[in-house]
């Protein structure tokens, strides 16, 4: 019964999305919101509640393993731990799309309930656009991917969940990314609403900014968690593999980063209007494109979700309608949107525009590298594009962007002179040169990683230069957010460059009692034992690992065999120190009785994810600071209105 209620809630939510679209469109046409035209806001709130109920219903049927529901039977098993039963609700095509539309509906309801800064016609246009986007996803779920479909007869047992997905990291990774994707859908709706009413103002940017910031924070967390999961669960041993599915989440983040800077300039300086609108459309386009690539089956990846060209065509049609329509609207209205206040090249706005251009170029590099194999396959030519393309080509644009990131916060708004910050520029140049010489002399290695290390050190120092001479106690929280986010980029870059420059790998075949060394570690294979879990069996290698002849620490990597579904996985072991990680993977038994082991020593690799968390923390602080500023601004406006009213009475 709960499945039928969830299905009915989805139909009602779709009807409300249609009402939201019609009401918002009529209000936009008539300029007032009363009668049916005044229903857009309550329809959005109710739609959010119904979509939330539908997702709760799906969680329930997974929690109780209701094997009469087709989706549960195909993606769960009665013996799975509860956390993986619940994560199975979004670890498949239908459930993840329901999660997507639920978050979108809840976001639309929140906008309708709390947003009062925009002119009413812009607000109605934004709600109409949000309803239009949601309606397409409801149609997709109800007509093509119903998550509540019943089986003619309940299954005796479920088929289980992909063992690669039975991990706490990946249980949390998709919802985090979806919050980011949906935040960008809200930014897209704001952009469409502003284009329809030609109201691209600082107030519009202030309304849009928290959603962009929130989306950017969730995307940062999702990408950080996803890269760590791929690092330890897939056994790749690399922090970024340039896998197409990884790229599908990186592209929206790049666009969102550029959008975040543009919308901040528009909110505070009334500039970069066209940039903001264009990036609002591009960022959501990348979210839709990523969804299409992951779910259409056109890409080959170990963690692509669905191989279904029919449903992929549905998403492609939505992509064409939404993005094609928005780009057409942008082409028609761009000439009527002024760029706003002017600024000099040597200004903070100028540095932000330069960074936006570089971010857009990196986005184009990743997009081309991801799609190129698909384009050549259409001509029956199979090619693969990997690190030899992505690393050097993206570095051409990443290095200037990082240098501008160090210099930009030192410049004044509107206009500045290079002479005023000449000492800081000299310090930045000296740090890069000194760092390059230091790492080259003491560690050696390829040019690109060494350059990355030198720039990371420079950027870490430059991140705090804007604080010089300022009263730290009175510094706005948003400025702290910028400083910490930029410092986080430096920390992550240091980890990436260190891993690339100094990692060592050892492939060994050992008998029990033998040892192998990798970097400063010595690893002894003490024994090999069979072990069993709730839905798997494994061969476990019990080892003793010693760092520079220190005390031995036990580690136990496993080679697991799941039976529902039948699949073999490797469970690596990570031994973490402040200066890096030992990474150990258990292999198979060779014919001569020796066991295969793969060992890595990765200096400072954890800095990659520490940096990612710092970047997200900076974003959270920026949200808190901006919300505080907006509340203070509203309070001042209210007080001014009260005083004017009192004066009028007198």
Instruction: State the CB neighbour count (10 A cutoff) for residue 254.
Output: 24
Name the helix (H) or strand (E) containing 386. none
The pLDDT tens digits of the residues spanning 8-20 come to 999 999 999 999 9
Domain boundary among 605, 622, 643: 605
pLDDT of residue 404: 92
Higher pLDDT: 381 or 60? It is: 60
Higher pLDDT: 622 or 644? It is: 622
Q: Which residues, other chains included, contact 423 with Cβ-Cβ below 8 Å and sequence gap of 6+?
A: none
Taking 60 as the threshold, does the pLDDT of residue 300 lie above it? no
pLDDT of residue 156: 81
Mean pLDDT of 138-154: 89
Rounded to two decimals, what is the model's pTM?
0.89
pLDDT of residue 82: 83
Inter-CA distances, 416 with 341, 348, 413, 486, Å: 15, 8, 7, 22
- What whole-number distance in Å separates Cα of residue 148 and Cα of residue 585? 40
Mean pLDDT of 416-428: 89
Per the listing, tokens 């009529």 go with 26
Domain boundary among 132, 163, 194: 163
Q: Is 650 exposed, middle or buried (0-12, 13-18, 19+ CB in 10 A)?
A: exposed
Q: Assess contact for 207 and 191: CB atoms under 8 A.
A: no
How many domains is the chain partitioned into structurally?
2
Beta strands at 580-589 and 566-571: parallel, antiparallel or unpaired: unpaired
pLDDT of residue 379: 77
Average pLDDT, the chain: 86
Assess if residue 53 is contained within a domain: yes
pLDDT of residue 443: 60
pLDDT of residue 547: 94
Mean pLDDT lowest among 115-124, 127-136, 385-394: 115-124
The pLDDT tens digits of the residues spanning 529-542 come to 999 887 788 899 99
Taking 90 as the threshold, does the pLDDT of residue 521 lie above it? yes
Domain that holds residue 79: 1-163
Assess if residue 5 is contained within a domain: yes
pLDDT of residue 240: 80
Domain boundary among 142, 163, 184: 163
Assess if residue 631 is contained within a domain: no
The pLDDT tens digits of the residues spanning 458-499 come to 999 999 998 888 888 888 898 999 999 999 999 999 999 998
pLDDT of residue 254: 95
pLDDT of residue 90: 83
pLDDT of residue 383: 80
Q: Is 388 exposed, middle or buried (0-12, 13-18, 19+ CB in 10 A)?
A: exposed
Mean pLDDT of 228-246: 79
Taking 60 as the threshold, does the pLDDT of residue 650 lie above it? no
Taking 80 as the threshold, does the pLDDT of residue 311 lie above it? no
pLDDT of residue 10: 95
Determine phi and psi for 536, rounding to 5 degrees: -155, 160
pLDDT of residue 296: 63
pLDDT of residue 512: 92
Assess if residue 365 is contained within a domain: no
The pLDDT tens digits of the residues spanning 37-90 come to 678 889 999 999 999 999 999 999 999 998 999 999 988 888 778 888 888 888
Confidence grade of residue 384 (pLDDT, cut at 50, 70, 90): confident
Q: Assess contact for 625 and 209: CB atoms under 8 A.
A: no
- What whole-number distance in Å separates Cα of residue 348 and Cα of residue 355? 11
pLDDT of residue 356: 92
Confidence grade of residue 514 (pLDDT, cut at 50, 70, 90): very high
Mean pLDDT lowest among 220-224, 321-325, 460-464, 544-548: 321-325
Q: How far is CA 151 from the centre of its chain?
A: 35
pLDDT of residue 105: 93
Percent of the chain whose pLDDT exceeds 90: 41
Inter-CA distances, 120 with 14, 29, 536, Å: 24, 12, 58
DSSP string for 429-497: HHHHHHHHHHHHHHT---HHHHHHHHHHHHHHHHHHGGGTTS-GGGS-HHHHHHHHHHHHHHHHHHHHH
Determine phi and psi for 543, rounding to 5 degrees: -130, 160
Taking 70 as the threshold, does the pLDDT of residue 173 lie above it? yes
Instruction: State the CB neighbour count (10 A cutoff) for residue 344.
Output: 14
**567: β partners:** 562
Assess if residue 402 is contained within a domain: no
Name the helix (H) or strand (E) containing 95. helix 93-114
Q: Which three-class secondary structure state does DSSP give residue 377?
A: helix
- What whole-number distance in Å separates Cα of residue 616 and Cα of residue 587? 36
Taking 70 as the threshold, does the pLDDT of residue 306 lie above it? no
CA dihedral 183, 188, 193, 199 (to 10 degrees): 100
Assess if residue 149 is contained within a domain: yes
Assess if residue 496 is contained within a domain: no
The pLDDT tens digits of the residues spanning 188-204 come to 999 998 888 888 888 88
Q: Contacts by 263-268 with C-beta closer than 8 Å and gap 24+?
A: 263/187, 263/205, 263/208, 263/209, 263/212, 264/205, 264/209, 265/349, 265/352, 266/200, 266/202, 266/204, 266/205, 266/340, 267/202, 267/205, 267/206, 267/209, 268/202
Confidence grade of residue 609 (pLDDT, cut at 50, 70, 90): very high
Assess if residue 119 is contained within a domain: yes
């Amino acid at each position: 019964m709960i499945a039928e209620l969830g299905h009915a809630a989805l139909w009602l939510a779709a009807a409300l999305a249609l009402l939201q679209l019609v009401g918002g469109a009529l209000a936009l046409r008539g300029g007032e919101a009363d009668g049916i035209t005044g229903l857009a806001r309550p329809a959005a709130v109710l739609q959010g509640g119904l979509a939330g109920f539908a997702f709760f219903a799906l969680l329930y049927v997974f929690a109780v393993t209701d094997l009469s529901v087709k989706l549960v039977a195909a993606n769960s098993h009665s013996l799975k731990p509860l956390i993986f039963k619940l994560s199975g609700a979004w670890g498949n095509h239908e459930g993840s799309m329901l999660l997507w539309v639920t978050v979108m509906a809840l976001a639309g309801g929140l906008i309708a309930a709390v947003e009062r800064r925009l002119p009413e016609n812009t607000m109605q246009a934004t709600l109409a656009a949000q309803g239009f986007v949601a309606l397409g996803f409801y149609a997709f779920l109800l007509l093509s991917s119903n998550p509540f479909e019943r089986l003619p007869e309940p299954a005796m047992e479920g088929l289980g969940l992909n063992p690669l997905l039975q991990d706490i990291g990946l249980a949390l990774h998709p919802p985090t990314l979806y919050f980011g994707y949906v935040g960008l859908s809200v930014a897209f709706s704001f952009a469409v609403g502003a284009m329809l009413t030609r109201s691209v103002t600082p107030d519009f940017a202030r309304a849009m900014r928290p959603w962009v910031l929130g989306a950017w924070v969730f995307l940062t967390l999702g990408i950080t968690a996803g890269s760590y999961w791929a690092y330890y669960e897939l056994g790749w041993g690399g922090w970024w593999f340039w896998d197409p599915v990884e790229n599908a989440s990186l592209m929206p983040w790049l666009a969102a980063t550029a959008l975040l800077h543009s919308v901040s300039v528009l909110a505070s300086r009334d500039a970069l209007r066209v940039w903001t609108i264009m990036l609002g459309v591009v960022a959501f386009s990348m979210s839709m494109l990523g969804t299409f690539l992951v779910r259409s089956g056109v890409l080959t990846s170990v963690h692509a979700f669905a191989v279904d060209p029919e449903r992929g065509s549905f998403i492609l049609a939505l992509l064409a309608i939404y993005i094609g329509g928005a780009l057409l609207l942008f082409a028609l209205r761009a000439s009527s949107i002024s760029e706003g206040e002017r600024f000099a090249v040597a200004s903070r706005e100028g540095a932000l525009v330069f960074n936006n251009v570089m971010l857009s170029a990196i986005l184009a590099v990743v997009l081309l590298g991801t799609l190129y194999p698909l384009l050549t396959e259409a001509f029956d030519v199979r090619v693969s594009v990997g690190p030899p393309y992505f690393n050097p080509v993206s570095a051409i644009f990443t290095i200037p962007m990082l240098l501008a990131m160090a210099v930009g916060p030192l410049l004044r708004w509107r206009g500045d002179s290079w002479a005023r910050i000449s000492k800081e520029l000299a310090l930045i140049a000296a740090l890069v040169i000194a760092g390059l010489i230091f790492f080259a002399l003491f560690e050696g290695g390829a040019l690109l990683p060494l350059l990355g290390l030198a720039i990371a050190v420079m950027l870490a120092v430059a991140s705090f230069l804007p604080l010089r001479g300022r009263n730290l106690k009175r510094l706005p929280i948003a400025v702290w957010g910028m400083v910490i986010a930029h410092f986080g980029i430096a920390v992550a870059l240091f980890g990436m460059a260190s891993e690339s420059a100094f990692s060592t790998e050892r492939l060994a075949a050992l008998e029990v009692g033998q040892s192998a060394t990798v970097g400063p570690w010595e690893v002894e294979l003490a024994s090999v034992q069979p072990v069993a879990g709730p839905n798997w069996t494994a061969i476990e290698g019990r080892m003793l690992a010693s760092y520079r002849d220190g005390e031995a620490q036990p580690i136990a990597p496993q080679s697991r065999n799941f039976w529902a579904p039948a699949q073999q996985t490797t469970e690596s072991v990570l031994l973490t120190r402040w200066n890096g990680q030992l990474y150990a993977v258990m292999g198979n038994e060779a014919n001569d009785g020796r066991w295969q082991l793969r060992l890595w020593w990765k200096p400072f690799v954890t800095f990659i994810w520490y940096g990612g968390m710092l970047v997200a923390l900076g974003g959270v602080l920026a949200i808190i600071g901006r919300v505080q500023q907006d509340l203070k601004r509203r309070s001042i406006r209210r007080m001014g209105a009260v005083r004017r009213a009192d004066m009028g009475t007198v």
